[in-house]
Amino acid sequence: MFNPFGMGKDLKGMEKMVKPALEKFMKESGFVKQDVLDKAIERIESLERKVSDLERRF
């Protein structure tokens, strides 16, 4: 007999197994999450401004 509620539980279990492996693969392949990329870009821009300010002082 087909149980749609059991299928949802099975899918959650599969997701718990596959998600860490997929994230590891993506990280090792060079993929980056958008929020991590945004934070890195903000940090780079901040450092560039600081370097520019220091160059103007000297």
The answer, yes or no, to whether residue 2 has pLDDT greater than 80, is no
pTM confidence score: 0.53
pLDDT tens string 3-58? 777 777 788 888 888 999 998 998 899 888 899 999 999 999 999 999 999 999 98
**Residues in CB range of 46: below 8 A, 6 or more apart:** none
